[in-house]
Structure 1
Amino acid sequence: MKKEKYKILILPLCFFINIFNAQIGIGTGNPQGMFHVDGAKDNPTSGTPTPAQLSNDIVIDKVTGFIGAGVLTPQVQLDMRSTANENSLGIGTTSMLANAAGAGAVRYDVNNTPVGAKIEVSDGTVWHKAYVAPQKAVVVVRKIVSQSIPTASATTIINWNEVRDMSNSFNPSSGEFTAPRNGTYTFLLTFNFNGTVITDGSRVESQFYNPATSTVLASVYKTFGQSMTGSSDDANATRSTQAGGSSTVTLTLDAGTRVSVRLYQNLASSAIPLRVTTDPLNPANPDDGFNNLTVIEH
């Protein structure tokens, strides 16, 4: 009789099976679910792995069948809420029609039409771009540093004290606001000068100015048509008066457009300082709160 030779192939043991509980572990002899992959092979031989050890694991729950990526007890069919820093879902693009992909399908659209690359969701008929509302620009600044406005010369108000800037769109030092996106913006300026004798027929002009193009985008005038002289009961003495006012404009701006606020005055023959507080930490100071700028994106 011819004797046949048999070769024995020995395979390395690369996974573990818990026969009694029907659990399979790859990279671990201590599976925590129906199927458990320990990517870094750092789990303990007994007991429950730590969140850090689980962060590189894949677990299929033995009761629900849900998949946990770095999660021991997934709460949904695919749960990725682990302690790792890479908890994000990578989505690719597809040319499938929305009805072929089915309602609830998600893709990453890279066609940049019409508003740039976006996540899209299928309703079973059409792909719809997911809208994420941006943080709108809200700027509130005030003047607490003295600044003189020369006569008959439009001067940019600089060195503002920033109270709020929701989108980091304002430079307090230069006094420039930069539109974060195409849109509509409202600017509200209040101003007040130190007391001086005001010339008849003088004016203050608030200018909303683009320093990049040297263009006045909008301006608001306040005129002073009466002389500030005393009545007969005070010997016709000339009196000092504080000139002030407010200006509101709404502008449609392209992203990146810079806007600063300028004041022009011909109230007197010399420069006039803006009225600012000497005690900015005390809101009850009588000089507090007169020169302010607010910018709101619609």
Structure 2
Amino acid sequence: MMNKHTKKLLLLLALNGYIGTAYAQTGIGTPNPQGALHVDGAKDNAATGAPTAVQVANDVIVSKTTGFIGVGVLNPQVKLDMRSVSTENALGLGTTTMTAAAAGAGAVRYDVANTPVGAKIEVSDGSVWSKAYVAPQKAVVVVRKISSQSIPQNTATTIVNWSVVRDMSNSFTASTGEFTAPRDGTYTFLLTFNFNGAVIADGTRVESQFYNTVTSTVLASVYKTFGQSMTGTSDDAGSTRSTQAGGSSTVTLTLTAGTKVVARLYQNLIAGAVALRVTTDASDPTNPDDGFNNLTIIEH
């Protein structure tokens, strides 16, 4: 027969085992906890087996082995893991008036009050709050001319109806040839051009212009002159020769956000219009007329 001391010891052992079991795995909203602490927000988990990814999406779990917290994640891989199948995987931060030293190095806040004023994420290095910099998607535009267009004599004409190869910032309008600067910055424009063959006059030129359509201003221009073409005059022994005028222009411009720029060509090669040399088969890169008229724009 057990004495009172033995009974007390057995009762303590029993209580200790119960508490240990409860501590090892606790479920809130679920009878089937998968971690040291498991909260089933929607109470939609099965009574047995592991919950599905959709069911876990509304759960909060503390790992039994690492102590890591998973929000919508069954097996968190870091101290706070929120990478679930759900589309609400965002971390909400508020502002604080604590100094960077008081908050400690590594603290993060969402600040709207301090200088510079405006919504921003700030990180403490233990001494100062510093604005977190997020690099914007820089503008990179690559377009080519595959549709016919003639450039009249003595009239600066915008090159339109480009075919877009790449426009990473959606800042180029192909039909009008208009580039809109997405932000204040420095931009380099590279234009290559080539005309169909024509008997061009001596001492003529082609001028590439980069033109602001809002202020009606030529921002930059590049000249290429042509001479010694055989035009049938006496110094050419009465002979003529068809010549393809072409060239390239590179300019770097400092633009403010919203500035609209087009590439224009001016020519006085002949007494009339000259057509740009474009491919007759845009799907064939080996076509002998492909790739002569191109525009590239790069934001620095």
Cα deviation, 1:186-225, whole Å, max 9, x if unaligned, reads: 0000111111121222211111011111111111111224
Q: Which amino acid aligns with 1:183?
A: G
Q: Distance in 1 between matches of 2:248 and 2:61?
A: 64
1:114: how far off?
4.3
Q: Counterpart amino acid of 2:91?
A: L
Query: Aligned AA for 1:20?
Result: T
Distance 1:114 1:219, change over 3 A: farther
Pick aligned residue for 1:236 from 229, 235, 238: 238
Q: TM-score, normalised by structure 1?
A: 0.89
**SS in structure 2 of the partner of residue 20 of structure 1:** helix
Distance 1:67 1:138 in 2: 41
Deviation of the 1:118 alpha carbon:
2.2
Aligned to 2:65: 63
Instruction: Tell me which amino acid in the other structure corresponds to 2:93.
Output: I
- Out of 201, 205, 208, the position equivalent to 1:206 is 208
Contact 2:208/2:264 (<8 A) preserved: yes
Residue number among 37, 40, 45 corresponding to 2:39 in the alignment:
37
C-alpha deviation, 1:162, in angstroms? 0.9
Runs of 4+ in 1 over 6 A off after TM superposition: 230-234
CA distance in 2, matches of 1:208, 1:104: 47
Q: What does residue 128 of structure 1 align with? A: 130
- Cα shift at 1:233: 11
Deviation of the 1:113 alpha carbon: 4.5
- Give TM-score, length-normalised by structure 2: 0.88
Following superposition, the deviation at residue 297 of structure 1 comes to 0.8
Match of residue 88 from structure 2: 86
The structure with more helix, counted as a fraction of residues: 2
Q: Is the 8 A contact 1:18 1:24 kept in 2?
A: no
Give the superposed CA RMSD: 2.1
Query: Does the CA-based 8 Å contact 2:229-2:241 persist in structure 1?
Result: no
Identify the residue that residue 20 of structure 1 maps to in structure 2. Answer: 21
Choose the corresponding residue for 1:288, options 284, 287, 290: 290
Check the 8 A contact 1:195/1:243 in 2, yes or no: yes
What 5-or-longer segments of structure 1 have no aligned partner? 1-16
For these two proteins, the number of residue pairs brought into alignment is 282
Q: Distance in 2 between matches of 1:227 and 1:78?
A: 74
Amino acid at match of 2:278: V
Residue in 2 aligned with 1:141? 143
Deviation of 1:62 after TM superposition, in Å, equals 2.2
AA at the equivalent of 1:275: R
Greater CA drift, 82-91 or 28-37? 28-37
Query: What amino acid is the match of 1:39?
Result: G
